[in-house]
């Protein structure tokens, strides 16, 4: 068994009558690049919030690097090396790109000048160098996604939870972003990403978990899960797999 | 030269210039104006630390002002200590009240209008307490005996007071400068702009906001202590009334939130405005508050970044116009 950096056991969370996450367990190996996928409303972002401490689970446990961190505040988790990004980007809008990234860099650097200098290095890694002195509110969607990534990277995380960094980007922007994410993982950061863009998941992830209606329904390599009938049905509706199979057979017979 | 160094030099030049005023003039009107403008600047800067940099809008900063004022008076009258010791206690005591109110409000995540209402309510509670308990002199108030001496921090002319309040303003300017150039300041502004994003990258909003309210309340308490030294009198409605809270926040907003010079500009402009209205409308009570209201509405509508941000506002409007015209041409 490989060393796991993050391990969650039987995690559940309900909001009133809605069981957003039910009895989910998974292990994220150290140094891996993995993905969490699933249809809209499956509970992926809730699961991220439970892992990073933004929400406290009703039951179950979260362990990070061997320590029980269930329900621990997000800023403490960030100090231990687990940082998340947000699906809906959350820039510090009144501040420049450089200042935004520097806030992340301050986690390890007290001195303002060193943090600002570090911000420049991180910006270069995600391709934001040209925008350093722009106000964050002036960035395009793609730029804001990069900023979200840069700010998290500046905290020097060991585990990076990326919540749909590719959503809302056009195909060219996605193609530009994929190597950035791969570069981060190759730099030694363990990455778990929520992603809808299958091209990216197939391209990047070593292992994929599929969440539907709060439950883990499949896991494995991207090839295995996309061929899984349960996964197809979760995305396209009950009975789809059978109809697709019938259509394929009819096509082959003809 | 780096911009942060330029600002530091600017602060020194400003303080040096104001320090020269008492040396070159004997005009009582002018000296009084300078003293009151500096005093208003101090309150505005105090409010700006929490409201401008921290984004926590307090409607009850009189809470800290009044606490500072009462501590200053009571320590001298009943404790028999000298005015400078009292001043230290006033600053620490007000900061302590700030931490108490902050801990209660921020622990439960009160933000925006809820935080504003809680501070307003606390100021009101303290006003009623001050009216009821004996050691504040209840409704009669407290009067400091007039004894001019340095130890009593009482001076024959406004000049001495100008140097005292200038010292506070200089300290507040330096703290503001530090907010713009330090990790604590960066964290405070990050929390103001987006609390969740800040938490995700290791910032504790509770700790940061608590630090800001302590600083802000400490300076406000110094303002209250200074008031008692100048006017030698304090009562519950002066100490905890809404007037001081409004004066502090209006000057900060009018001048430009979260900036170094905004509160200075705002306080001076409002003081000039108040003097003009007083001369035009005689001693109509409260007319300056009406004018404040109108000015505040106008500033918020037309200059969202305040007077200090006027250049940036004009620039962005100009950019917007140019883009529009460019768009038409293209």
Q: Tell me which residue of B112, B127, B109, B111 sits closest to B62, measured CA to CA.
A: B127
Q: Say yes or no for a CB contact (<8 Å) between A92 and B197.
A: yes
> Which chain A residues are within 8 Å of B203, Cβ to Cβ?
75, 103
Judge whether A192 and A35 are in contact, CB under 8 Å: yes
Q: Say yes or no for a CB contact (<8 Å) between B201 and A94.
A: no
* SS3 of residue B215 by DSSP: helix
Closest chain A residue to B258 measured between Cα atoms? A94
Q: Say yes or no for a CB contact (<8 Å) between B201 and A54.
A: no
> Which chain B residues are within 8 Å of A160, Cβ to Cβ?
none
pTM of the predicted structure, to 2 decimals:
0.89
Q: Could you say which of B182, B197, B202 has the minimum Cβ distance to residue A86?
A: B197
pLDDT of B328: 46
For A:27-66, CB contacts with B below 8 A are 52, 54
**pLDDT-above-70 percentage for chain B:** 96
Least confident stretch, A194-198, B63-67, B227-231 = A194-198
- Element holding B315 (H helix, E strand): helix B310-329
Judge whether A80 and A99 are in contact, CB under 8 Å: no
In DSSP terms, which residues pair with A28 in a beta bridge?
Answer: A6
**For chain B, what is the mean pLDDT?**
89
Q: Could you say which of B189, B193, B199 has the minimum Cβ distance to residue A75?
A: B199
Closest chain B residue to A87 measured between Cα atoms? B197
Closest chain A residue to B178 measured between Cα atoms? A112
Instruction: State how far residue A153 is from chain B, nearest Cα, in angstroms.
Output: 9
pLDDT of B170: 97
Q: Tell me which residue of B119, B62, B64, B58 sits closest to B93, measured CA to CA.
A: B64
Q: Which of B7, B180, B197, B262 to mutate to test the interface with A (most CBs of A within 10 A)?
A: B197
Q: Say yes or no for a CB contact (<8 Å) between B258 and A92.
A: no
Interface of B with A (CB under 8 A): 181-183, 186-187, 189-190, 193-194, 196-205, 258
Q: Could you say which of B181, B183, B201 has the minimum Cβ distance to residue A78?
A: B201
Q: Say yes or no for a CB contact (<8 Å) between A92 and B193.
A: yes
Would you give the distance in Å from CA A36 to the centre of its chain?
A: 7
Instruction: State how far residue A213 is from chain B, nearest Cα, in angstroms.
Output: 26
pLDDT in tens, B219-237: 999 999 999 999 999 999 9
Q: How far is CA B165 from CA B33, B38, B156, B186, in A?
A: 13, 6, 15, 28
CA torsion A196→A201→A206→A207, rounded to 10°? 30
Judge whether A244 and A53 are in contact, CB under 8 Å: no
Q: Which of A37-41, A183-187, B217-221 has the highest mean pLDDT?
A: B217-221
In DSSP terms, which residues pair with A212 in a beta bridge?
Answer: A215
pLDDT in tens, A235-254: 888 877 778 788 888 877 76
* Alpha helix stretches (DSSP H) within chain A: 44-52, 74-80, 97-105, 112-126, 141-153, 171-186, 198-204, 222-227, 229-236, 240-253
B330, pLDDT greater than 50: no
pLDDT in tens, B170-214: 999 999 999 999 999 999 999 999 999 999 999 999 999 999 999
Q: Could you say which of A52, A85, A93 has the minimum Cβ distance to residue B193?
A: A93
Residue B264 is classified by DSSP as H
> Which chain A residues are within 8 Å of B190, Cβ to Cβ?
92, 95, 103
Q: Could you say which of B181, B182, B202 has the minimum Cβ distance to residue A155?
A: B202
Return the CATH number of A4-221, one of 3.40.50.720, 3.40.50.300, 3.30.930.10, 3.40.1110.10: 3.40.50.300
Instruction: State how far residue B108 is from chain A, nearest Cα, in angstroms.
Output: 14
The answer, for A78 touching chain B at a CB cutoff of 8 Å, is yes
Q: Say yes or no for a CB contact (<8 Å) between B201 and A93.
A: no
Judge whether A169 and A145 are in contact, CB under 8 Å: yes
For A:105-164, CB contacts with B below 8 A are 106-107, 109-112, 115, 151-152, 154-155
pLDDT in tens, B83-94: 999 999 999 999
Would you give the distance in Å from CA A230 to the centre of its chain?
A: 23
pLDDT of B325: 65
How many Å apart are CA B294 and CA B283, to the nearest integer?
19
Instruction: State how far residue A228 is from chain B, nearest Cα, in angstroms.
Output: 34
How many Å apart are CA B30 and CA B272, to the nearest integer?
12
Exposure on the CB side of residue B48, measured as CA atoms within 13 A:
33
Least confident stretch, A118-122, A147-151, B268-272 = B268-272
Would you give the distance in Å from CA A196 to the centre of its chain?
A: 11
Q: For tokens 């008031």, what's the residue?
A: B227
Q: Say yes or no for a CB contact (<8 Å) between B197 and A99.
A: no
Closest chain A residue to B199 measured between Cα atoms? A75
The answer, for A238 touching chain B at a CB cutoff of 8 Å, is no
Instruction: State how far residue B184 is from chain A, nearest Cα, in angstroms.
Output: 9
Judge whether A165 and A150 are in contact, CB under 8 Å: no
How many Å apart are CA B98 and CA B102, to the nearest integer?
6
Q: Which of B196, B202, B205, B315 to mutate to test the interface with A (most CBs of A within 10 A)?
A: B202
Domain boundaries, chain B: 3-242
ipTM score of the complex? 0.88
Tell me the count of A-B CB pairs closer than 8 A.
80
B324, pLDDT greater than 70: no
How many Å apart are CA A6 and CA A81, to the nearest integer?
11
Q: Say yes or no for a CB contact (<8 Å) between B190 and A83.
A: no
pLDDT of B99: 97
């Amino acid at each position: 068994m490989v060393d796991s950096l993050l391990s969650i056991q039987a995690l559940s969370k309900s909001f009133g009558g809605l069981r957003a996450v039910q009895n989910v367990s998974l292990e994220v190996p150290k140094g891996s690049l993995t993905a969490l996928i699933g249809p809209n409303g499956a509970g992926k972002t809730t699961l991220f919030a439970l892992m990073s401490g933004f929400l406290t689970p009703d039951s179950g446990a979260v362990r990070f690097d061997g320590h029980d961190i269930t329900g621990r505040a997000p800023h403490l988790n960030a100090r231990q090396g687990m940082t998340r990004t947000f699906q809906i980007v959350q820039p510090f809008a009144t501040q420049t790109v450089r200042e935004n990234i520097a806030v992340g860099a301050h986690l390890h650097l007290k001195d303002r000048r060193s943090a600002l200098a570090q911000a420049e290095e991180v910006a270069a890694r995600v391709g934001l160098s040209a925008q350093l002195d722009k106000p964050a509110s002036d960035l395009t969607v793609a730029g804001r996604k990069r900023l979200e990534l840069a700010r998290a990277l500046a905290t020097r995380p060991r585990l990076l939870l990326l919540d749909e960094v590719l959503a809302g980007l056009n195909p060219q922007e996605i193609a530009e972003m994929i190597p950035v994410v791969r570069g981060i993982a190759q730099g030694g950061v363990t990455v778990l990403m929520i992603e809808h863009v299958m091209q990216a998941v197939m391209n990047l992830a070593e292992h994929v978990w599929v969440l539907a209606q709060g439950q883990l329904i499949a896991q494995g390599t991207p090839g295995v899960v996309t061929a899984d009938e349960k996964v197809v049905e979760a995305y396209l509706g009950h009975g789809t797999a059978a109809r697709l199979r019938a259509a394929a057979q009819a096509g082959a017979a003809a | 030269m780096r911009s942060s160094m330029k600002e530091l030099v600017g602060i020194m030049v400003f303080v040096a210039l104001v320090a020269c005023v008492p040396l070159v003039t004997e005009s009582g009107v002018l000296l009084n104006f300078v003293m009151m403008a500096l005093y208003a600047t101090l309150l505005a800067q105090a409010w700006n630390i929490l409201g401008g940099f921290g984004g926590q809008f307090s409607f009850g900063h009189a809470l800290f002002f009044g606490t500072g004022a009462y501590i200053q008076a009571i320590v001298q009258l009943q404790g028999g200590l000298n005015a400078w010791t009292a001043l230290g206690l006033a600053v620490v005591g007000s900061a302590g009240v700030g931490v108490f109110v902050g801990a209660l409000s921020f622990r439960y995540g009160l933000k925006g209008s809820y935080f504003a209402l809680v501070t307003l309510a606390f100021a009101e509670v303290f006003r009623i307490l001050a009216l009821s308990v004996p050691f504040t002199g209840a409704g009669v108030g407290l009067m400091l005996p007039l004894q001019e001496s340095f130890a009593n921090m009482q001076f024959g002319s406004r000049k001495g007071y100008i140097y005292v309040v200038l010292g506070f303003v200089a300290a507040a300017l330096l703290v503001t400068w530090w907010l713009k150039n330090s990790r604590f300041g960066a964290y405070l502004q990050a929390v103001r702009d987006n609390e969740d994003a800040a938490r995700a990258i290791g910032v504790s909003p509770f700790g940061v906001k608590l630090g800001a309210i302590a600083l802000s309340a400490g300076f406000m308490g110094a303002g209250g202590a200074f008031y008692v030294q100048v006017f030698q009198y304090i009562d519950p409605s002066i100490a905890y009334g809404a007037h001081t809270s409004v004066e502090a926040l209006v000057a900060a907003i009018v001048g430009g939130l979260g900036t170094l010079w905004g509160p200075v500009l705002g306080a001076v402009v409002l003081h000039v405005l108040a003097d003009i209205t007083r001369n035009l409308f005689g001693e109509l009570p409260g007319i300056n508050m009406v004018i404040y209201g109108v000015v505040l509405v106008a500033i918020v509508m037309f200059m969202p970044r305040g007077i200090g941000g006027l250049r940036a506002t004009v620039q962005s409007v100009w950019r917007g116009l140019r883009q529009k015209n460019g768009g038409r041409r293209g």
